[in-house]
Amino acid sequence: MKKRIYKLIDRIDNLERVRKLYVFLLIFSIVSLLVIVNYCYISTFKDVKVLYAQYTKDRIIDMKKDFLEDSVNNMINNIQQIKVEKIEVNRNRINRAAKVIGEYYESKKGDFLEKTIDYFETGTIKGTFDIFILDRFTDKILYQNNIKYMENTRNIYDYIDDLKKESIVYNEDNYGKYYIFYGVTEDYIKYATMESIKKRIHSDSFENDAYIWINEVVNYEGGDNYAIRLIHPNLKDTEGMYLSTKMQDIEGNYPYLTELNGIKENGEIHFTYFFKKKTCDEVAEKLTYAKLYKEYNWIIAMGVYFDEIQPYIDEISKDGDKAISKMITLVGVLSLGLILIGILVVLILEHWYYQNSNKKLREELNIDELTKAFNRRAATKKLQETFYSFERYNSIFAIIIFDIDDFKKINDSYGHDVGDRVLRNLVEIINKSTRKTDFLYRWGGEEFILICEGLKEESLNSFTDKILKDVEDFQYESQGEKYHITISIGASYFNKDDEDFLSVVKRADMALYNSKREGKNRATLNI
Q: What is the pLDDT of residue 18?
A: 61
Q: What is the pLDDT of residue 27?
A: 74
Q: Assign residue 459 the CATH number of its domain.
A: 3.30.70.270
The rounded distance, in Å, linking the Cα atoms of 376 and 444 is 7
pTM score: 0.52
My answer on whether 112 and 50 are in the same domain is no
**Is 82 within the bounds of a domain?**
no
Query: Which tens digits make up the pLDDT trace of 47-101?
Result: 656 666 677 777 888 888 898 999 999 999 999 999 999 999 999 999 999 999 9
Q: What is the pLDDT of residue 336?
A: 73
My answer on whether 388 and 484 are in the same domain is yes
β strands within 348-446, DSSP E: 397-404, 438-444
Residue from 103, 114, 186, 446 carrying the catalytic annotation:
446
Q: What is the pLDDT of residue 439?
A: 96
The rounded distance, in Å, linking the Cα atoms of 92 and 84 is 12
**Is 46 within the bounds of a domain?**
yes
Please choose, from the candidates 332, 379, 339, 74, the residue with its C-alpha nearest in 3D space to the C-alpha of residue 197: 74
Q: Per the structure, how many domains does the chain have?
A: 4
Is 166 catalytic? The answer is no
My answer on whether 13 and 121 are in the same domain is no
**Is 245 within the bounds of a domain?**
yes
**Is 354 within the bounds of a domain?**
no
Q: What is the pLDDT of residue 182?
A: 92
Q: At what angle do helices 376-393 and 359-366 cross, to 10 degrees?
A: 100
Q: Which of the listed residues 185, 205, 229 is the one where a domain comes to its end?
A: 185
**Is 228 within the bounds of a domain?**
yes
My answer on whether 463 and 490 are in the same domain is yes
Query: Which tens digits make up the pLDDT trace of 320-339?
Result: 566 666 766 776 677 677 77
**Is 362 within the bounds of a domain?**
no
My answer on whether 285 and 201 are in the same domain is yes
CB 267 within 8 A of CB 299: no
My answer on whether 297 and 214 are in the same domain is yes
Distances (CA, A) of 110 to 103, 105, 115, 136, 488: 13, 9, 10, 17, 134
DSSP codes of every residue in 172-226 = EEEETTEEEEEEEEHHHHHHHHHHHHHHHHHH---STT-EEEEEEES-TT-STT-
My answer on whether 505 and 377 are in the same domain is yes
My answer on whether 294 and 388 are in the same domain is no
CB 184 within 8 A of CB 167: yes
DSSP H or E run through 44: none
My answer on whether 488 and 387 are in the same domain is yes
Burial of residue 266, with CB atoms counted within 10 A of its CB: 0-12 exposed, 13-18 middle, 19 or more buried: exposed
R_g of the chain computed on alpha carbons:
52
Q: What is the domain range of residue 255?
A: 63-74+190-309
pLDDT, averaged in runs of 10, over the chain (527 residues):
56 62 71 72 63 73 89 94 94 94 88 92 83 91 77 76 90 93 92 93 83 94 94 90 92 93 94 81 86 94 79 64 68 72 70 58 77 95 96 96 95 92 96 95 96 96 97 92 95 94 96 96 95
My answer on whether 12 and 26 are in the same domain is yes
My answer on whether 516 and 405 are in the same domain is yes
Contacts of 423 (CB under 8 A, 6+ apart): 370, 371, 404, 442, 446
Q: What is the pLDDT of residue 7?
A: 60
Q: What is the pLDDT of residue 132?
A: 92
CB 441 within 8 A of CB 379: yes
